[in-house]
């Protein structure tokens, strides 16, 4: 059987449709493993994985760590804030020192776009990108598409709208690339200032009116406003943003069909999405988190299985 | 490629029936016994045996499941990747007598992995192994079958292939040998 076409998972950009389908099929079997009384398989027992996080994370780090542990890999965790990076060590030096301790794979999150790609050219280990700046977050896009596939049976032909801070979102870019690769129709929605100027070249529709976008779609993926990445003010106030682009129960109930509501987390309740929507039966937010472990197990299993 | 048919047609059917009779000797009415076929090829054997047993025991319910061992193999990262198959065990094996089934028993490594995989579902009272073809004297691990269809003497470069009526059109066991030019 042919494995993945790539040695690292740096972005959805490097994956073809067969790769994504292979990951999904493998994730299906891992999802059934996760529902057994003993949720652990011994596949990666001779693999050591370092989780290197230069940026804060709850879901992604825990999800990767659980995925690694359920595959029986040895795991070391590293948070930049409590390390020698603050003493002036470079990225390559830091990683090479970790690799000198015989680590096979690196899962990295970094605030700068392309950090994973840069690292993959300079170190021997296999790299999994867990988010690089505003560039890509491939495993999030894979688990989002996996959740859509689970709900509708297929991603092809589905209409997905991504709402919010498209400009600063790595989730948005990875999602667009992944959904397009699988044959879905994608629309982005938000204030003009938060939508990249040439996003249309990726083959997505652009809409500034939330109600129109929601009436068009089958799935709405609500993104957080990434205040920590915003250097200038892109809109007058959060309150105004919520009035125009926040999803509430009233809007949801006014639509003529039941759309699926997604959110990659962390949720800012009352900003991009109200509590009653986040906790409604149309929301699959916690299913996304559950699927995240299975999808990450599939990615790690498929990458680690490549013969050296 | 030189093909030698070891078993087919009625003889094949007689062998399956003999295995069923041997199982009945030890397991009575199968109320405490479950059959587990090992993916990918052992599931056809388990299905056929279950079906025959239901006929012989006039409609008695026989529990039968499929077990995938891909994640428990000992050659991960040492060979090309294998695609995992479905595991389907819709019953409790805790305290039960488990009969594991695979079409060909060769090195014994698959069986080791299967015993490992089975543990994820509980602690059976007893585990037995049934195989249709036993390639003798080629074990890498001390594993022996409790029920054997036929025994075959073969060398490592040969292959034993079992075909099934349900999926391949006919019941047949063939020994394939590579011919050197």
Residue located via tokens 């982005």: A188
b/e map of A152-184 (b: 16 or more CB within 10 Å)?
Answer: eeebeebbbbbbbbbbbbbbbbbbbbbbbbbeb
Cβ atoms of residues A108 and A136 within 8 Å = no
Residues sharing a CB contact under 8 Å with residue A244, sequence separation 6 or more, in sequence order: A191, A210
Per-residue pLDDT, averaged over A151-163, amounts to 96
Bridge partners of B34? B63, B98
Q: Give A169's pLDDT tier (boundaries 50, 70, 90).
A: very high
pLDDT digits (tens, 9 = 90+) for A33-72: 998 888 889 999 889 999 999 988 888 999 999 999 999 9
* Mean pLDDT, chain A, integer: 92
A305: nearest CA partner in chain B: B77
The token pair that represents B54 in the structure block: 């239901």
Topology classification of domain A138-288:
Rossmann fold (3.40.50)
The pTM for the full model equals: 0.87
Per-residue pLDDT, averaged over B21-43, amounts to 93
Distance from C-alpha of A190 to C-alpha of B73, rounded to nearest angstrom: 49
> Same topology for domains A12-136+291-304 and A138-288, yes or no?
yes
Enumerate chain B positions whose Cβ falls within 8 A of a Cβ in A.
68, 70-73, 76-87, 116, 119-122
Chain A environment of B82 (Cβ under 8 Å):
1
Distance from C-alpha of A7 to C-alpha of A86, rounded to nearest angstrom: 30
Which carries the bigger pLDDT value, residue B178 or residue B134?
Answer: B134
Question: Nearest CA to A56 among A266, A214, A247, A217?
Answer: A266
Distance from CA of B139 to the nearest CA of A (A): 23
Topology classification of domain A12-136+291-304:
Rossmann fold (3.40.50)
Bridge partners of A126? A105
Q: Pick from A1, A25, A44: which is nearest to B82 by CB?
A: A1
* pLDDT value at A1 more than 60: no
* pLDDT value at A262 more than 90: yes
A170 is annotated as contributing to ligand binding: yes
A90-99, A200-209, A248-257, B77-86: range with lowest mean pLDDT:
B77-86
Residues sharing a CB contact under 8 Å with residue B69, sequence separation 6 or more, in sequence order: B38, B39, B110, B113, B114, B116, B117
Distance from C-alpha of B42 to C-alpha of B22, rounded to nearest angstrom: 18
Residues sharing a CB contact under 8 Å with residue A135, sequence separation 6 or more, in sequence order: A11, A113, A114, A170, A173
Confirm whether the ipTM is greater than 0.85: no
Question: Nearest CA to A23 among A301, A304, A298?
Answer: A298
Distance from CA of B75 to the nearest CA of A (A): 9
Per-residue pLDDT, averaged over B165-170, amounts to 91
Q: Give B181's pLDDT tier (boundaries 50, 70, 90).
A: low
Q: What domains does chain B contain, in order, with CATH numbers?
A: 2-73+85-177 (3.40.50.2020)
- Give domain limits for chain A: 12-136+291-304, 138-288
The token pair that represents A68 in the structure block: 């690694």
* Cross-chain Cβ contact A29/B85 below 8 Å: yes
């Amino acid at each position: 059987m042919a494995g993945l076409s790539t040695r690292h998972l740096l972005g959805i950009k490097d994956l073809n449709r067969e790769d994504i389908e292979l990951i999904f099929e493998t994730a299906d079997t891992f999802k059934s493993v996760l529902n057994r009384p003993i949720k652990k398989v011994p596949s990666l027992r001779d693999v050591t994985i370092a989780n290197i996080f230069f940026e804060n994370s709850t879901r992604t780090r825990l999800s990767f760590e659980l995925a690694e542990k359920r595959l029986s890999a040895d795991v070391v965790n590293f948070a930049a804030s409590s390390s020698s990076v603050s003493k002036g060590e470079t990225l390559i030096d830091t990683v090479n020192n970790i690799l000198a301790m015989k680590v096979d794979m690196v899962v990295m999150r970094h605030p700068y776009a392309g950090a994973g790609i840069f690292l993959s050219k300079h170190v021997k280990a296999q790299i999994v990108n867990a988010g690089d700046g505003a560039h890509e977050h491939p495993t999030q896009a894979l688990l989002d598409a996996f959740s859509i596939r689970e709900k509708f049976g297929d991603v092809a032909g589905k209409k997905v709208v991504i709402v919010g801070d498209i400009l600063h979102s790595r989730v948005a870019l990875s999602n667009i690339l992944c959904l397009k690769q699988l044959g879905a129709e994608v629309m982005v929605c938000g204030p003009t200032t938060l939508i990249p100027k040439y996003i249309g070249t990726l083959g997505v529709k652009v809409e500034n009116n939330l109600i129109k976008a929601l009436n068009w779609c089958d799935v709405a993926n609500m993104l957080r406003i990434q205040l920590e990445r915003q250097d200038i003010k892109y809109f007058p106030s959060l309150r105004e943003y919520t009035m125009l682009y926040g999803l509430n129960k009233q809007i949801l109930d006014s639509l003529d069909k039941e759309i699926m509501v997604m959110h990659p987390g962390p949720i800012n309740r009352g900003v991009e999405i109200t509590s009653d929507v986040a906790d409604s039966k149309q929301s699959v937010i916690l299913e996304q988190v559950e699927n995240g472990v299975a999808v990450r197990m599939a990615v790690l299993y498929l990458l680690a299985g490549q013969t050296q | 490629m030189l093909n030698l048919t070891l078993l087919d047609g009625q003889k094949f059917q007689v062998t399956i029936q003999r295995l069923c009779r041997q199982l009945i000797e030890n397991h009575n009415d199968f109320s405490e016994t479950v059959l587990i076929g090992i993916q990918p090829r052992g599931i056809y054997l388990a299905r056929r045996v279950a079906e025959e047993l239901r006929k012989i025991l006039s409609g008695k319910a026989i529990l039968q499941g499929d077990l995938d061992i891909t994640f428990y193999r000992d050659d991960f990262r040492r060979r090309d990747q294998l695609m995992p198959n479905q595991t389907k065990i819709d019953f409790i094996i805790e305290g039960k007598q488990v009969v594991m089934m695979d079409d060909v028993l060769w090195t014994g490594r698959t069986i080791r992995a299967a015993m490992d995989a089975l543990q994820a579902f509980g602690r059976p009272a007893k585990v037995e192994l049934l195989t249709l073809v036993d390639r003798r004297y080629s074990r890498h691990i001390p594993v022996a079958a409790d029920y054997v269809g036929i025994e075959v003497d073969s060398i490592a470069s040969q292959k034993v292939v079992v075909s099934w009526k349900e999926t391949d059109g006919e019941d047949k066991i063939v020994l394939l040998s590579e011919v050197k030019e």
